[in-house]
Chain A
Amino acid sequence: MRGQETKLFAHIDWGLLGVYFILVFLGISNIYSSVFDPDNPGLFNLNTEHGKQIMWFGVALFLGLVIFFLESNFIRKYAYWFYGFTMLLLVAVLFTKPIHGARSWFGIGSVGIQPSEFAKIGVSLALARFIDLNSNLKERRTTNTAKGLSILWGIIPFISKNKSTALILGIPCSLVLLQPDAGTFIVFTSFLLVLYREGYAGNILLFLVISVIMAVITLIVADSNFMLLFTKIKLSGKTGIIIVLFILSGIFAAIIRSFVMKRNRKPLYRSLIGSFLVAVIFVNFVELGYSNILQPHQKERIDLLLGKIDDPDGKGYNINRAKAAIGSGGFMGKGFKSATLANASQRHVPMQSTDFIFCTWSEERGFLGAFILVGLYTFLLLKMVVVAERQRSVFTRVYAYSVASIFFYHFMINIGMAIGLAPVIGIPLPFFSYGGSSMMSFSVLIFILLKLDSERKIVLQ
Chain B
Amino acid sequence: MRNVENRKYVIALIFLIIPVIFIVRLFYMQVVDDKWKDRAAQISENRITTYPARGIVYDRNGVKIISNEVYYDIHVIPKQAANTDSVALVKLLGISMEEYVTKMNKARNYSRRKPSEIVRQIPPNEFSQIAPELYKYPGFFEVARTLRVYPKKIAAHVLGYMNEANASDIEKDSYYKSGDYIGRSGIEKMYEKELRGQRGVKYYLQDAIGLSTGKYEDGKYDTLAVQGQNITLSIDWELQAYGEKLMKNKLGSIVAIEPSSGEILAMVSAPTYDPNLLVGRHLGANYGALAEDTLLPLQNRSINSAYPPGSIFKTVMALIGMQEGVITENASFPCNKALAGCHNHPTAQNVSDGVKMSCNPYFIQLVRRIVQQGKDKSIFKDAAIGLDIWAKYVRSFGIGTDLQVDYPTNVHGNVPDAAYYDKHLNFRWAFSTIQSIAIGQGEVLITPLEMANLAAIMANRGYFIPPHFIKSIEGGEIPEVYRTKKYTLVDSAYYEPVIDGMWRVVHEAGGTARRARIDSIEVCGKTGTVENFKRISGKVYQLTDHSNFMAFAPRENPQIAISVFIENSGFGGTWSAPLASLMIEKYITGTVSDTAKENRIINANLIPDADDIIRK
CB pair A385 B12 closer than 8 Å: yes
CB pair B44 A370 closer than 8 Å: no
Would you give the shortest CB distance from B501 to chain A, in whole angstroms? Answer: 79
Residue A378 lies at the interface, judged by CB distance under 8 Å to chain B? yes
CB pair A196 B7 closer than 8 Å: yes
Using A330-B30, A374-B26, A412-B18 as known contacts, say yes or no to A193 and B208 having CB atoms under 8 A apart: no
Residue A353 lies at the interface, judged by CB distance under 8 Å to chain B? no
Residue A328 lies at the interface, judged by CB distance under 8 Å to chain B? yes
User: Binary interface profile of B, 187-228, with partner A (CB < 8 Å = 1, else 0)?
Assistant: 000000000000000000111110001001000000000000
Closest to B8 in A: A389
User: Binary interface profile of A, 401-421, with partner B (CB < 8 Å = 1, else 0)?
Assistant: 100100010011001100101
Residue B87 lies at the interface, judged by CB distance under 8 Å to chain A? no
Report chain A residues within 8 Å CB of B4. 197-199
Using A374-B23, A374-B26, A421-B25 as known contacts, say yes or no to A324 and B40 having CB atoms under 8 A apart: yes
Using A323-B36, A325-B40, A419-B26 as known contacts, say yes or no to A196 and B11 having CB atoms under 8 A apart: yes
- Return the contact of A371 from the options B26, B36, B40, B208 (Cβ within 8 A): B26
Would you give the shortest CB distance from B33 to chain A, in whole angstroms? Answer: 7
CB pair B30 A362 closer than 8 Å: yes
Residue B1 lies at the interface, judged by CB distance under 8 Å to chain A? yes
User: Binary interface profile of A, 365-407, with partner B (CB < 8 Å = 1, else 0)?
Assistant: 0110011001101100110010011000000000001001000
User: Binary interface profile of B, 301-342, with partner A (CB < 8 Å = 1, else 0)?
Assistant: 000000000000000000000000000000000000000000
CB pair A378 B30 closer than 8 Å: no
Report chain B residues within 8 Å CB of A426. none
CB pair A329 B30 closer than 8 Å: yes
Measured in the bound complex, the distance between the Cα atoms of B26 and A329 in whole Å is 10
Residue B16 lies at the interface, judged by CB distance under 8 Å to chain A? yes
Report chain B residues within 8 Å CB of A389. 8
Closest to B208 in A: A347
Would you give the shortest CB distance from A194 to chain B, in whole angstroms? Answer: 9
Closest to A344 in B: B207
Measured in the bound complex, the distance between the Cα atoms of B17 and A412 in whole Å is 11
CB pair A408 B15 closer than 8 Å: yes
CB pair A345 B207 closer than 8 Å: yes
Closest to A339 in B: B44
CB pair A346 B205 closer than 8 Å: yes
CB pair B31 A378 closer than 8 Å: no
CB pair B37 A330 closer than 8 Å: yes
Residue A275 lies at the interface, judged by CB distance under 8 Å to chain B? no
B29, B33, B208 interface centre (most CB from chain A within 10 Å): B29
Report chain A residues within 8 Å CB of B31. 330-331, 367
Residue B478 lies at the interface, judged by CB distance under 8 Å to chain A? no
CB pair A346 B22 closer than 8 Å: no
What secondary structure prevails in chain B residues at the interface with A? helix
Residue B35 lies at the interface, judged by CB distance under 8 Å to chain A? yes
Report chain A residues within 8 Å CB of B35. 327
Measured in the bound complex, the distance between the Cα atoms of B213 and A385 in whole Å is 47
Would you give the shortest CB distance from A423 to chain B, in whole angstroms? Answer: 15
Measured in the bound complex, the distance between the Cα atoms of B206 and A341 in whole Å is 9
Closest to A377 in B: B19
Measured in the bound complex, the distance between the Cα atoms of B39 and A328 in whole Å is 8
Closest to A312 in B: B39
Measured in the bound complex, the distance between the Cα atoms of B29 and A367 in whole Å is 9
Would you give the shortest CB distance from B111 to chain A, in whole angstroms? Answer: 12
Residue A218 lies at the interface, judged by CB distance under 8 Å to chain B? no
Report chain A residues within 8 Å CB of B2. 141, 199
CB pair B207 A326 closer than 8 Å: no
Measured in the bound complex, the distance between the Cα atoms of B21 and A225 in whole Å is 33
CB pair B29 A419 closer than 8 Å: yes
Using A328-B36, A421-B21 as known contacts, say yes or no to A340 and B30 having CB atoms under 8 A apart: no
Residue B27 lies at the interface, judged by CB distance under 8 Å to chain A? yes
Residue B610 lies at the interface, judged by CB distance under 8 Å to chain A? no
Chain B, 10-60, CB within 8 A of any chain A CB: 10-12, 14-16, 18-19, 21-23, 25-27, 29-31, 33, 35-37, 39-41, 43-45
Measured in the bound complex, the distance between the Cα atoms of B27 and A415 in whole Å is 14
Closest to A345 in B: B213
CB pair B15 A205 closer than 8 Å: no
Report chain A residues within 8 Å CB of B30. 326-327, 329-331, 362, 366-367, 370
Report chain B residues within 8 Å CB of A408. 14-15, 18
Closest to B21 in A: A421
Measured in the bound complex, the distance between the Cα atoms of B29 and A323 in whole Å is 8
Measured in the bound complex, the distance between the Cα atoms of B29 and A412 in whole Å is 17
CB pair B16 A382 closer than 8 Å: yes
Report chain A residues within 8 Å CB of B8. 197, 385, 388-389
Report chain A residues within 8 Å CB of B21. 421
CB pair A341 B43 closer than 8 Å: yes
Residue A320 lies at the interface, judged by CB distance under 8 Å to chain B? yes
Would you give the shortest CB distance from B426 to chain A, in whole angstroms? Answer: 65
Closest to A349 in B: B208
CB pair A381 B207 closer than 8 Å: no
CB pair A327 B44 closer than 8 Å: no
Measured in the bound complex, the distance between the Cα atoms of B342 and A424 in whole Å is 97
Residue A301 lies at the interface, judged by CB distance under 8 Å to chain B? no
Residue A238 lies at the interface, judged by CB distance under 8 Å to chain B? no
Using A205-B10, A346-B208, A382-B12 as known contacts, say yes or no to A367 and B40 having CB atoms under 8 A apart: no
CB pair B22 A374 closer than 8 Å: yes
Report chain A residues within 8 Å CB of B10. 196, 205
Report chain A residues within 8 Å CB of B16. 378, 382
Measured in the bound complex, the distance between the Cα atoms of B206 and A370 in whole Å is 25
Would you give the shortest CB distance from B40 to chain A, in whole angstroms? Answer: 3
CB pair A371 B23 closer than 8 Å: yes
Report chain A residues within 8 Å CB of B14. 193, 408
Measured in the bound complex, the distance between the Cα atoms of B211 and A348 in whole Å is 11
Using A327-B33, A331-B31, A377-B19 as known contacts, say yes or no to A346 and B213 having CB atoms under 8 A apart: yes
CB pair B15 A328 closer than 8 Å: no
CB pair A367 B11 closer than 8 Å: no
CB pair A327 B208 closer than 8 Å: no
Would you give the shortest CB distance from A347 to chain B, in whole angstroms? Answer: 4
Residue A321 lies at the interface, judged by CB distance under 8 Å to chain B? yes
CB pair A328 B40 closer than 8 Å: yes
Would you give the shortest CB distance from B217 to chain A, in whole angstroms? Answer: 10
Measured in the bound complex, the distance between the Cα atoms of B37 and A340 in whole Å is 11
Chain B, 332-371, CB within 8 A of any chain A CB: none
User: Binary interface profile of A, 109-126, with partner B (CB < 8 Å = 1, else 0)?
Assistant: 000000000000000000
Report chain A residues within 8 Å CB of B26. 326, 362, 367, 370-371, 374, 419
Measured in the bound complex, the distance between the Cα atoms of B12 and A382 in whole Å is 6
CB pair A347 B207 closer than 8 Å: yes
Report chain B residues within 8 Å CB of A411. 18
B14, B18, B209 interface centre (most CB from chain A within 10 Å): B18
Would you give the shortest CB distance from A209 to chain B, in whole angstroms? Answer: 10
User: Binary interface profile of B, 525-536, with partner A (CB < 8 Å = 1, else 0)?
Assistant: 000000000000
CB pair A404 B36 closer than 8 Å: no
- Return the contact of B44 from the options A141, A198, A346, A388 (Cβ within 8 A): A346
Closest to A347 in B: B208
Closest to B10 in A: A205
Would you give the shortest CB distance from B345 to chain A, in whole angstroms? Answer: 85
26 chain-A/chain-B pairs, Cβ below 8 angstroms: A193-B11, A312-B39, A323-B36, A323-B39, A324-B39, A325-B40, A326-B26, A326-B30, A327-B33, A327-B40, A341-B40, A341-B44, A345-B213, A346-B44, A346-B205, A362-B30, A371-B23, A371-B26, A374-B22, A382-B12, A385-B12, A401-B11, A408-B14, A412-B18, A416-B22, A421-B21
17 extra interface residue pairs, beta carbon distance < 8 Å, beyond A341-B40, A348-B207: A141-B2, A196-B11, A197-B4, A326-B30, A327-B39, A340-B44, A346-B207, A346-B213, A347-B209, A362-B30, A370-B30, A371-B23, A374-B23, A382-B15, A385-B12, A401-B11, A408-B18
- Measured CB to CB, the residues of A under 8 A from B are 141, 193, 196-199, 205, 312, 320-321, 323-331, 340-341, 345-348, 362, 366-367, 370-371, 374-375, 377-378, 381-382, 385, 388-389, 401, 404, 408, 411-412, 415-416, 419, 421
Closest 8 CB pairs of A and B: A327-B36, A328-B40, A347-B208, A367-B30, A324-B40, A199-B4, A340-B44, A324-B39
